[in-house]
């Protein structure tokens, strides 16, 4: 336990800031607050820096850059893409709408991870790639306020806890563990939102 505490205390300032802004982001997102997006942009920018310079999780580094772009898209959808006096509402999609994106994510991860293995020193190339591709899909669902985004995040965050812990990113692993917990809470909150409208 003492070794874990020492490891966490020795994390870089960028990881501490990424942790704080990331937690703020996911809690605000679970509460449907548009202010979540600027915090997400800051957190993802810092994680991207460490992905490329420290962890060798290149697919995740690219993903973090996409998250930054999605952050601006999220701001647009959650604030400006509404009728006057209305906001984007939580919806739920049937499982059939998820089959193709998930299958594409798993299949496309094979050649991409092979390229990463051949041309880079990427760590955990397949896990890194599949979580990256599915995270893009989950982020699009979050931007559109689709309830099932949280189910993807529960699974994805669990994998990221493992990946970052194994690569020495203790604080980022803690961040993803917190994301996992908030994703469960976010799913419950958003489902209540739908049930109240029914």
pLDDT in tens, 89-117: 889 999 999 999 999 999 999 999 999 88
pTM: 0.80
The string of pLDDT tens digits covering residues 47-86 is 999 889 888 888 788 889 999 999 999 988 888 765 555 6
Closest CA to 187 of 157, 155, 147: 147
- Three-state secondary structure readout of 57-107: CHHHHHHHHHHHHHHHHHHHHHHHCCCCCCCCCCECCCCHHHHHHHHHHHH
Average pLDDT over residues 125-152: 92
Quote the distance between the C-alpha of residue 195 and its chain's center.
25
């Amino acid at each position: 336990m003492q070794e874990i505490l020492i490891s966490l205390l020795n994390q870089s300032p960028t990881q501490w800031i990424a942790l704080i802004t990331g937690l703020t982001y996911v809690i605000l997102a679970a509460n449907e607050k548009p202010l979540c997006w600027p915090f997400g942009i800051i957190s993802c920018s810092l994680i991207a820096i460490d992905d490329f310079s420290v962890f060798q999780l290149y697919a995740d580094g690219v993903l973090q850059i996409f998250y930054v772009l999605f952050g601006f898209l999220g701001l647009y959808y959650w604030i400006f893409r509404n009728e006057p006096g209305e906001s984007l509402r939580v919806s739920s999609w049937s499982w059939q709408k998820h089959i193709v994106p998930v299958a594409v994510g798993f299949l496309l991860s094979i050649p991409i991870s092979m390229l990463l293995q051949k041309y880079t020193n990427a760590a955990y190339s397949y896990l890194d790639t599949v979580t990256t591709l599915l995270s893009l899909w989950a982020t699009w669902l979050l931007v559109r306020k689709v309830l099932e985004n949280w189910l993807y995040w529960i699974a994805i965050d669990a994998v990221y806890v493992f990946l970052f812990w194994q690569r020495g990113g203790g604080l980022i692993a803690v961040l993803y563990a917190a994301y996992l917990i908030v994703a469960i809470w976010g799913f419950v909150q958003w489902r209540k939102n739908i049930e109240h409208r029914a």
